Amino acid sequence: MRGILIVNKDKAMTSHDVVAILRRKLKIKRIGHTGTLDPNVTGVLPICIGNATRISEYIMHQGKSYDCTMEFGHATTSYDSDGEITESSDKVIFTKEEILRAFKHFTGEIMQSPPIYSAIKIKGKKLYEYARKDMDVEIPKRSVNIYGLELIELEGNKLRFNIDCSKGTYVRSLVHELALYLGTYAHMTSLVRTRVGRFYLDDCLSLSQIEEMSLADIESKLYSMEDSLYNLATIYIADDIEDRLNNGQKINIKSIKHQIKENDLGQIDYENIVVNVQGKFLGIGRIQDNILKMERVLKSD
Protein backbone atom coordinates (compact mmCIF):
# COMPACT_ATOMS: atom_id res chain seq x y z
CA MET A 1 0.00 0.00 0.00
CA ARG A 2 1.38 3.41 -0.98
CA GLY A 3 -0.03 6.86 -1.52
CA ILE A 4 -1.43 9.89 0.29
CA LEU A 5 -4.37 9.58 2.70
CA ILE A 6 -6.10 12.86 3.56
CA VAL A 7 -7.22 12.85 7.20
CA ASN A 8 -9.43 15.35 9.03
CA LYS A 9 -7.55 15.60 12.32
CA ASP A 10 -9.69 15.73 15.44
CA LYS A 11 -9.22 18.24 18.26
CA ALA A 12 -7.04 17.33 21.27
CA MET A 13 -5.02 14.94 19.11
CA THR A 14 -1.45 15.34 17.89
CA SER A 15 -0.26 14.58 14.38
CA HIS A 16 1.81 11.75 15.88
CA ASP A 17 -1.36 10.31 17.44
CA VAL A 18 -2.90 10.13 13.96
CA VAL A 19 0.16 8.32 12.60
CA ALA A 20 0.11 5.82 15.50
CA ILE A 21 -3.58 5.03 14.93
CA LEU A 22 -3.04 4.49 11.20
CA ARG A 23 0.00 2.27 11.75
CA ARG A 24 -2.12 0.08 14.00
CA LYS A 25 -5.06 0.03 11.59
CA LEU A 26 -3.08 -0.52 8.38
CA LYS A 27 -0.40 -2.73 9.98
CA ILE A 28 2.25 -0.65 8.20
CA LYS A 29 5.20 1.03 9.93
CA ARG A 30 6.22 3.29 7.06
CA ILE A 31 3.70 6.07 7.66
CA GLY A 32 4.40 9.76 8.27
CA HIS A 33 2.58 13.07 8.45
CA THR A 34 3.40 16.16 6.41
CA GLY A 35 3.82 18.78 9.10
CA THR A 36 2.68 19.11 12.68
CA LEU A 37 -0.77 20.46 13.50
CA ASP A 38 -1.20 21.75 17.05
CA PRO A 39 -3.50 19.53 19.16
CA ASN A 40 -6.27 22.16 19.26
CA VAL A 41 -6.18 22.68 15.49
CA THR A 42 -8.43 20.49 13.37
CA GLY A 43 -8.61 19.86 9.66
CA VAL A 44 -6.58 18.69 6.68
CA LEU A 45 -3.59 16.47 7.49
CA PRO A 46 -2.08 14.59 4.52
CA ILE A 47 -0.57 11.28 5.61
CA CYS A 48 2.10 9.59 3.49
CA ILE A 49 1.93 5.80 3.38
CA GLY A 50 4.63 3.38 2.24
CA ASN A 51 7.05 4.71 -0.37
CA ALA A 52 5.10 8.00 -0.40
CA THR A 53 6.87 9.01 2.83
CA ARG A 54 9.76 10.01 0.58
CA ILE A 55 7.77 12.94 -0.83
CA SER A 56 6.48 14.30 2.49
CA GLU A 57 8.85 17.28 2.39
CA TYR A 58 7.48 18.33 -1.01
CA ILE A 59 3.91 18.31 0.33
CA MET A 60 5.06 20.25 3.40
CA HIS A 61 6.16 23.10 1.12
CA GLN A 62 2.74 23.47 -0.49
CA GLY A 63 0.41 26.35 0.38
CA LYS A 64 -2.10 26.12 3.23
CA SER A 65 -5.51 27.63 4.02
CA TYR A 66 -7.12 28.12 7.43
CA ASP A 67 -10.45 29.19 8.90
CA CYS A 68 -9.53 31.24 11.98
CA THR A 69 -11.58 32.83 14.76
CA MET A 70 -10.03 35.41 17.08
CA GLU A 71 -11.30 37.41 20.02
CA PHE A 72 -10.28 40.98 20.80
CA GLY A 73 -9.62 42.10 24.36
CA HIS A 74 -6.90 39.86 25.78
CA ALA A 75 -3.45 38.67 24.72
CA THR A 76 -2.18 35.37 26.11
CA THR A 77 1.19 33.68 26.57
CA SER A 78 0.46 31.19 23.79
CA TYR A 79 -1.54 33.60 21.57
CA ASP A 80 -4.54 31.25 21.87
CA SER A 81 -7.17 30.26 24.44
CA ASP A 82 -4.84 27.84 26.25
CA GLY A 83 -2.45 30.52 27.49
CA GLU A 84 -2.53 32.81 30.49
CA ILE A 85 -3.68 36.40 29.96
CA THR A 86 -0.75 38.80 29.65
CA GLU A 87 -2.36 42.03 28.43
CA SER A 88 -5.89 43.44 28.21
CA SER A 89 -7.62 46.27 26.36
CA ASP A 90 -11.12 47.78 26.26
CA LYS A 91 -10.69 48.50 22.55
CA VAL A 92 -12.55 45.52 21.10
CA ILE A 93 -15.01 46.85 18.48
CA PHE A 94 -13.86 47.53 14.92
CA THR A 95 -15.50 48.36 11.61
CA LYS A 96 -15.26 46.19 8.54
CA GLU A 97 -13.18 48.90 6.88
CA GLU A 98 -10.64 48.87 9.72
CA ILE A 99 -10.31 45.10 9.52
CA LEU A 100 -9.87 45.12 5.74
CA ARG A 101 -7.22 47.83 6.04
CA ALA A 102 -5.33 45.65 8.51
CA PHE A 103 -5.70 42.64 6.20
CA LYS A 104 -4.15 44.62 3.37
CA HIS A 105 -1.21 45.56 5.60
CA PHE A 106 -0.46 41.90 6.35
CA THR A 107 -0.93 40.56 2.81
CA GLY A 108 2.23 39.63 0.92
CA GLU A 109 5.66 38.75 2.25
CA ILE A 110 5.94 39.57 5.95
CA MET A 111 8.44 38.96 8.75
CA GLN A 112 6.97 36.92 11.58
CA SER A 113 8.11 35.67 14.99
CA PRO A 114 6.79 32.23 16.02
CA PRO A 115 4.95 32.07 19.38
CA ILE A 116 7.10 31.12 22.39
CA TYR A 117 4.75 28.17 22.87
CA SER A 118 5.63 26.38 19.62
CA ALA A 119 7.72 23.44 18.43
CA ILE A 120 10.26 25.57 16.56
CA LYS A 121 13.79 24.66 17.66
CA ILE A 122 16.33 27.24 18.82
CA LYS A 123 19.79 25.95 19.80
CA GLY A 124 18.51 22.39 19.85
CA LYS A 125 15.52 23.05 22.12
CA LYS A 126 11.89 23.55 21.23
CA LEU A 127 10.59 27.00 22.09
CA TYR A 128 7.92 25.68 24.46
CA GLU A 129 10.71 24.04 26.52
CA TYR A 130 12.20 27.49 27.13
CA ALA A 131 8.74 28.85 27.98
CA ARG A 132 7.94 26.10 30.48
CA LYS A 133 11.24 26.73 32.30
CA ASP A 134 10.70 30.52 32.15
CA MET A 135 13.98 30.91 30.26
CA ASP A 136 14.72 33.90 28.04
CA VAL A 137 15.46 33.14 24.40
CA GLU A 138 15.81 35.34 21.35
CA ILE A 139 13.27 34.29 18.72
CA PRO A 140 14.46 35.19 15.21
CA LYS A 141 11.91 36.51 12.76
CA ARG A 142 11.38 34.65 9.52
CA SER A 143 9.85 35.45 6.17
CA VAL A 144 6.43 33.99 5.31
CA ASN A 145 3.91 34.77 2.59
CA ILE A 146 0.28 35.68 3.20
CA TYR A 147 -1.41 35.16 -0.17
CA GLY A 148 -4.85 36.30 0.91
CA LEU A 149 -7.02 37.26 3.90
CA GLU A 150 -10.81 37.13 3.60
CA LEU A 151 -13.25 38.39 6.21
CA ILE A 152 -15.94 35.80 6.96
CA GLU A 153 -17.70 37.29 10.00
CA LEU A 154 -17.28 40.28 12.33
CA GLU A 155 -19.57 40.28 15.34
CA GLY A 156 -18.92 42.09 18.60
CA ASN A 157 -15.34 41.43 19.70
CA LYS A 158 -15.03 38.30 17.54
CA LEU A 159 -13.51 38.12 14.07
CA ARG A 160 -13.56 35.10 11.76
CA PHE A 161 -11.49 35.06 8.59
CA ASN A 162 -9.88 32.81 5.99
CA ILE A 163 -6.15 32.88 5.34
CA ASP A 164 -4.15 31.49 2.41
CA CYS A 165 -0.49 31.30 3.32
CA SER A 166 2.89 29.67 2.79
CA LYS A 167 4.56 26.89 4.74
CA GLY A 168 5.79 28.00 8.15
CA THR A 169 3.11 30.62 8.81
CA TYR A 170 1.91 30.77 12.41
CA VAL A 171 -1.69 31.95 12.39
CA ARG A 172 -1.52 32.53 16.16
CA SER A 173 1.29 35.02 15.60
CA LEU A 174 -0.68 36.72 12.83
CA VAL A 175 -3.65 37.10 15.21
CA HIS A 176 -1.38 38.70 17.82
CA GLU A 177 0.27 41.05 15.31
CA LEU A 178 -3.05 41.95 13.67
CA ALA A 179 -4.39 43.08 17.03
CA LEU A 180 -1.29 45.14 17.80
CA TYR A 181 -1.63 46.85 14.41
CA LEU A 182 -5.22 47.78 15.38
CA GLY A 183 -4.01 49.15 18.71
CA THR A 184 -5.37 46.39 20.92
CA TYR A 185 -4.84 42.79 22.04
CA ALA A 186 -6.38 39.52 20.90
CA HIS A 187 -5.96 35.76 20.95
CA MET A 188 -7.00 32.92 18.67
CA THR A 189 -10.02 30.89 19.79
CA SER A 190 -10.41 28.43 16.91
CA LEU A 191 -8.40 27.23 13.90
CA VAL A 192 -9.33 24.78 11.16
CA ARG A 193 -6.93 23.90 8.38
CA THR A 194 -9.11 23.80 5.29
CA ARG A 195 -6.49 23.11 2.61
CA VAL A 196 -3.01 21.73 2.00
CA GLY A 197 -1.94 22.11 -1.61
CA ARG A 198 -4.77 20.71 -3.72
CA PHE A 199 -6.36 18.80 -0.83
CA TYR A 200 -9.44 20.27 0.90
CA LEU A 201 -11.70 19.29 3.79
CA ASP A 202 -14.06 17.60 1.32
CA ASP A 203 -11.21 15.23 0.41
CA CYS A 204 -10.71 14.16 4.03
CA LEU A 205 -11.68 11.05 5.93
CA SER A 206 -12.17 11.20 9.69
CA LEU A 207 -10.38 8.66 11.87
CA SER A 208 -13.74 7.23 12.91
CA GLN A 209 -14.57 6.63 9.22
CA ILE A 210 -11.19 5.02 8.63
CA GLU A 211 -11.63 2.69 11.62
CA GLU A 212 -14.82 1.33 10.03
CA MET A 213 -13.32 0.81 6.56
CA SER A 214 -11.67 -2.28 5.13
CA LEU A 215 -8.04 -2.08 4.01
CA ALA A 216 -9.17 -2.34 0.40
CA ASP A 217 -11.58 0.58 0.83
CA ILE A 218 -8.87 2.68 2.47
CA GLU A 219 -6.45 1.90 -0.35
CA SER A 220 -9.06 3.05 -2.86
CA LYS A 221 -9.07 6.47 -1.16
CA LEU A 222 -5.32 7.02 -1.51
CA TYR A 223 -4.06 9.76 -3.81
CA SER A 224 -1.07 8.95 -6.00
CA MET A 225 2.32 10.51 -5.44
CA GLU A 226 2.27 12.11 -8.88
CA ASP A 227 -1.12 13.74 -8.26
CA SER A 228 0.20 15.11 -4.97
CA LEU A 229 3.20 16.82 -6.60
CA TYR A 230 1.20 19.33 -8.64
CA ASN A 231 3.50 22.11 -7.39
CA LEU A 232 6.40 20.62 -9.36
CA ALA A 233 6.89 20.81 -13.11
CA THR A 234 6.93 17.51 -15.05
CA ILE A 235 9.10 16.17 -17.85
CA TYR A 236 7.19 13.68 -20.02
CA ILE A 237 9.58 11.34 -21.84
CA ALA A 238 8.45 9.31 -24.87
CA ASP A 239 11.59 7.16 -25.21
CA ASP A 240 12.06 3.89 -23.27
CA ILE A 241 14.80 4.97 -20.85
CA GLU A 242 13.26 3.83 -17.57
CA ASP A 243 15.95 1.24 -16.79
CA ARG A 244 18.74 3.67 -17.57
CA LEU A 245 17.32 6.28 -15.19
CA ASN A 246 16.62 3.67 -12.50
CA ASN A 247 20.26 2.57 -12.72
CA GLY A 248 21.50 6.10 -12.09
CA GLN A 249 22.49 7.02 -15.64
CA LYS A 250 22.48 10.67 -16.61
CA ILE A 251 20.50 11.49 -19.74
CA ASN A 252 21.00 14.39 -22.12
CA ILE A 253 17.41 15.50 -22.71
CA LYS A 254 18.35 16.84 -26.15
CA SER A 255 18.85 13.21 -27.22
CA ILE A 256 15.33 12.05 -26.27
CA LYS A 257 11.76 12.92 -27.16
CA HIS A 258 10.31 14.87 -24.29
CA GLN A 259 7.96 17.64 -23.23
CA ILE A 260 8.21 19.76 -20.09
CA LYS A 261 4.99 20.93 -18.46
CA GLU A 262 4.99 23.84 -16.02
CA ASN A 263 3.60 23.50 -12.50
CA ASP A 264 0.24 24.94 -11.42
CA LEU A 265 1.77 28.43 -11.13
CA GLY A 266 3.29 28.33 -14.60
CA GLN A 267 6.80 27.81 -13.23
CA ILE A 268 9.59 25.31 -13.85
CA ASP A 269 12.07 24.40 -11.12
CA TYR A 270 14.73 22.30 -12.80
CA GLU A 271 16.18 21.38 -9.40
CA ASN A 272 13.07 19.34 -8.56
CA ILE A 273 11.08 18.02 -11.51
CA VAL A 274 8.66 15.09 -11.75
CA VAL A 275 9.85 12.46 -14.22
CA ASN A 276 7.24 10.55 -16.26
CA VAL A 277 8.50 7.92 -18.72
CA GLN A 278 6.03 6.59 -21.29
CA GLY A 279 3.07 7.44 -19.06
CA LYS A 280 4.63 5.99 -15.90
CA PHE A 281 5.55 8.09 -12.85
CA LEU A 282 9.21 7.40 -12.10
CA GLY A 283 10.09 9.89 -9.37
CA ILE A 284 11.79 13.24 -8.95
CA GLY A 285 14.82 14.32 -10.92
CA ARG A 286 17.05 17.29 -11.59
CA ILE A 287 17.97 18.91 -14.90
CA GLN A 288 21.21 20.87 -15.13
CA ASP A 289 22.79 21.94 -18.41
CA ASN A 290 20.26 19.71 -20.24
CA ILE A 291 21.39 16.66 -18.22
CA LEU A 292 18.64 14.76 -16.39
CA LYS A 293 19.52 12.76 -13.29
CA MET A 294 17.11 11.00 -10.94
CA GLU A 295 17.21 12.28 -7.35
CA ARG A 296 14.48 10.01 -5.96
CA VAL A 297 13.22 6.93 -7.77
CA LEU A 298 9.62 6.49 -6.61
CA LYS A 299 8.14 4.49 -9.46
CA SER A 300 4.55 3.37 -9.05
CA ASP A 301 3.41 -0.21 -9.46
pLDDT along the chain (301 residues), means of 10: 95 93 95 89 96 92 96 95 94 98 98 77 69 68 96 98 96 97 98 96 97 96 91 91 89 90 84 91 92 85 51
pLDDT at position 185, please?
98
Query: Catalytic pick from 10, 17, 38, 240?
Result: 38
The CATH number of whichever domain residue 96 belongs to comes to 3.30.2350.10
Whether residues 83 and 41 fall in one domain: no
Q: State the pLDDT at residue 300.
A: 58
> Are 191 and 220 found together in one domain?
no
Same domain, 249 and 145: no
Q: Is 240 a catalytic residue?
A: no
Predicted pLDDT of residue 267: 82
172 shares a domain with 68: yes
Roughly what angle, to the nearest 10 degrees, separates helices 171-181 and 96-105?
A: 120
CA distances from 182 to 95, 153, 156, 186 (A): 11, 17, 15, 10
Residue 181: Cβ within 10 Å count: 14
Total domain count for the chain? Answer: 3
Q: Are residue 147 and residue 211 in the same domain, yes or no? A: no
Q: Both 87 and 192 in a single domain? A: yes
The confidence score (pLDDT) of residue 114 equals 80
pLDDT reported for residue 131? 60
